[in-house]
Amino acid sequence: MELCKDDLKPIDGVNEEWSAGNQYHPGTYEVELRTHQDPSNRSLHTRTYNVRAGTTLGAILDTVIGQRMHHFAFLPYTDRGSWKGCGDHTLHCWAALVRAGIITSPDSVEDPQVSLADEMMITYLTGGTHTAEMVGRGWWFQHDPVEDELTPEAILSNARPTYQFRAL
């Protein structure tokens, strides 16, 4: 992915700009529609949301791309270079699909009383334990995230990235 200076929007409240630096690694974001109902073997905790009958992968991608949500960067928040932002991106894309009516209800099949925003604050560990922490922010290059009951600002961390910024 190449970024044009005109395409970037500043990070709220930060008088700095993104610098690709040595640790910048463009990646590929994968989305798949599954034909089976069993939980993923790649996750310790899953939630299921029903989609409108006849939904295509194209409709999902059109919703995300139409709102310019595909221009997004994960940011480093620890001196070990732990990257954050996947919960931020996943939650906002999910909410866009709920608002568009593609996901038919914001309530999960497994636990309708717990919002996805609250679920995003829990990290499940092997052995059945878990930890709770704020959701790490990523950087939306062009999209202006909506704050509402689906995507409350209160769940997002105020931690600052550790490197790869330079003063304006």
Question: How far apart, in Å, are the Cα atoms of 17 and each of 56, 64, 89, 116, 165?
Answer: 37, 24, 20, 31, 6
Could you tell me the two tokens for 148?
């509402």
CB 69 within 8 A of CB 89: yes
Contacts for 129 with CB less than 8 Å, ≥ 6 apart:
none
Q: Residue 1: its pLDDT value, please? A: 37
- Report the pLDDT value the prediction gives residue 68, as an integer from 0 to 100: 93
Mean of the pLDDT values across residues 62-87? Answer: 82
Its pTM stands at: 0.77
CA Rg, the chain, in Å?
A: 17
Asked if the model's pLDDT at residue 7 lies above 60, the reply is no
Give the CA diameter of the chain: 50
Q: What pLDDT is recorded for position 59? A: 95
User: How many CA atoms does the CB half-sphere of 77 hold within 13 Å?
Assistant: 17
Q: Quote the tokens at residue 102.
A: 């593609």
CA distance 84 to 76: 6
Q: What is residue 160's predicted lDDT score, i.e. its pLDDT?
A: 74
pLDDT of 33 higher than 70: no
Burial of 161 (0-12, 13-18, 19+ CB in 10 A): buried
What is the number of alpha carbons within 13 Å of residue 130 lying toward its C-beta?
Answer: 11
The string of pLDDT tens digits covering residues 113-161 is 999 999 999 988 888 899 999 998 888 888 999 999 999 999 998 887 6
Q: Are 107 and 118 in contact (CB under 8 A)?
A: no
Spatial distance between the Cα atoms of 145 and 33, rounded to a whole number of angstroms: 25
